Amino acid sequence: MAGAKLTTLEDNISKKLTAMISRKSMIRSFLQTYLYPHYIEAQTIRFQTEGASQGKGWPALSPAYAQRKLKLYKDMPGGGRRINVATGTLMMAILGTGKGHFKVINENSLTVGVKDISSVRKGKSVLKKSLEYAGYVDMVRPIFWFSSNWNKEWKRKFENWFYKGEAL
């Protein structure tokens, strides 16, 4: 009787390990079909809530800039009222709908970012200024950092898929 139980246990362990090995070869698919769309969703919600979805909302604009922005960007996305949205170029690049968005998926990683938003700034070193601006925005009003709640959810979903075989 003990031999039968041991064999059954070994069979179950073998099946689970085989399934995990199979899923390891599908990590790229997980990143593409689950994680990347959820990244876009998280970023969309971030811009809709002006950062509040990731914890603390973005700091308010100075009163002087808020007035200037209303005049300068009234015909742009957000009408000059949305924090972190002037022309919409940076937001659209982050959300994957505009120039400069990039996504690289390999066997076990997803990299998403903004590589060229040169239309945002004019001058000699357009790309450098644009990237410095994106870095400044991220420092003052974070656009690439995710709250622990989002990170925990993504990690939980991956672990349940990888270790338990739960459907996405």
Count of the separate structural domains present in the chain:
1
d(CA 41, CA 168): 16
Residue range 154-162: mean pLDDT, rounded = 91
Query: Does residue 21 form part of some domain?
Result: no
Residue 16 lies in a domain: no
pLDDT digits (tens, 9 = 90+) for 9-26: 677 788 888 888 888 888
Q: Structural domain of residue 119, as residue ranges?
A: 27-164
Alpha-carbon dihedral angle through residues 117, 125, 144, 110, given to the nearest 10 degrees = 70
Distance between CA atoms of residues 25 and 64, nearest Å: 54
pLDDT greater than 60 at residue 123: no
Comparing 17-31, 69-83, 133-147, the range with the smallest average pLDDT is 133-147
On whether residue 5 sits in a domain, the answer given is no
Q: Does a structural domain hold residue 75?
A: yes
- 100, 93 in Cβ contact below 8 A? yes
The whole-angstrom separation of Cα 123 and Cα 48 is 31
Confidence of residue 156 (pLDDT cuts 50, 70, 90): very high
Global confidence as pTM: 0.77
Mean pLDDT confidence for 153-157:
92
Contacts of 53 (CB under 8 A, 6+ apart): 42, 45, 46, 147
Count the Cβ atoms, other than its own, within 10 Å of residue 91. Answer: 21
Q: Establish if 102 belongs to a structural domain.
A: yes
Residue 76 domain flag: yes
92 falls within a domain: yes
Q: Decide if 8 is inside a domain.
A: no
